[in-house]
Amino acid sequence: MGDRTEILRQLMKLVDISSFQALSDRTGISRRAIDTIRKGNVSTLRYTDLAKLAEVLQINLNELFAKFITEPTSNIESPNLEIIALREEYQRLQQKLENQKQELRSQFERETIQQLESLLLQLPSAAHAAQNNPNMLAKNILPLLRPIDALLQKWGISAIGSVGVEVAYDPQKHQLMEGSDRIEEGDPAIVRYVGYRQGEKLLYRARVAKVIPNQPNY
């Protein structure tokens, strides 16, 4: 009584589908799900699969349930297709909102970084100068800028280089400052302005100058 294979074959024949594999290919439903339909357990499948199956077989959902539910309708509660559809739509909207949330967060971070660009690029150099000149009043306000470091860390943004540090020039993460002497990859260079990356994404290259022998680094 539970086998609905012949009923399914008849419906397939009407729409010129010759095999269960062809039905699977046409609907995108797995063979396992089709076997479930043949056994009369259609109510256990996802609404999206049922809707696609009904569309391909050219019948409505109510007719689909009537033909492929094993138990007599008097012994079971008729499936509420609206509730099933609403549940599927709710899950879809939840995923969409989550994706939008992530995109808005990324957009906010990008816009904030752009607004802070001048500060991000200039601050480490100013801090370096202040730390090397005790008479500079700027040294007294440096602790107030620590929240920016905390914010960058929270966003996964890390500095490339440290001001005044000698590095091997790497064009992938260093930018030669205008007016500096020509430099080749691997040559010694001094970091003048730090760069930044967010994870694997490069935001700004560190700006460097070529090391000139017998001259102060900074």
Tokens 């150099």 found at: 125
Q: Is residue 91 part of a domain?
A: no
Q: Domain range holding 136?
A: 117-210
pLDDT for 57-112, tens place per residue?
A: 888 877 887 787 755 444 444 455 556 666 666 677 778 888 888 888 888 888 87
Residues 129 and 44 in one domain: no
* Residue recorded with tokens 């799900």: 33
Report yes or no on 99 lying in a domain.
Answer: no
* 93 within a domain of the structure (yes/no): no
Are 68 and 138 in a shared domain?
A: no
Domain contains 216 = no
The enclosing domain of 21 has a CATH number of 1.10.260
Assess whether 75 and 122 both reside in one domain: no
Of the candidates 19, 54, 79, which is a domain's last residue? 79
Q: What are residue 176's DSSP bridge partners?
A: 208
Is the residue at 215 inside a domain? no
Region 189-193: what's the mean pLDDT?
92
End-of-domain residue from the set 32, 53, 79: 79
Task: Say whether both 139 and 193 belong to one domain.
Answer: yes
Q: Is residue 106 part of a domain?
A: no
What domain count does the chain have?
2
Residue 128 has pLDDT above 50, yes or no: yes
Could you identify the residue written with the tokens 């996802």?
A: 46
Asked if the model's pLDDT at residue 16 lies above 50, the reply is: yes
Q: Say if residue 122 is in the same domain as residue 43.
A: no
Q: pTM to 2 decimals?
A: 0.44
DSSP for 33-74, please give it.
Answer: HHHHHHTTBGGGS-HHHHHHHHHHHT--HHHHHHHHB-S-TT
The answer to whether residues 17 and 63 belong to one domain is yes
Question: Is 104 within a domain?
Answer: no
Asked, for residue 88, whether it belongs to a domain, the answer is no
Q: Are 24 and 34 in contact (CB under 8 A)?
A: yes
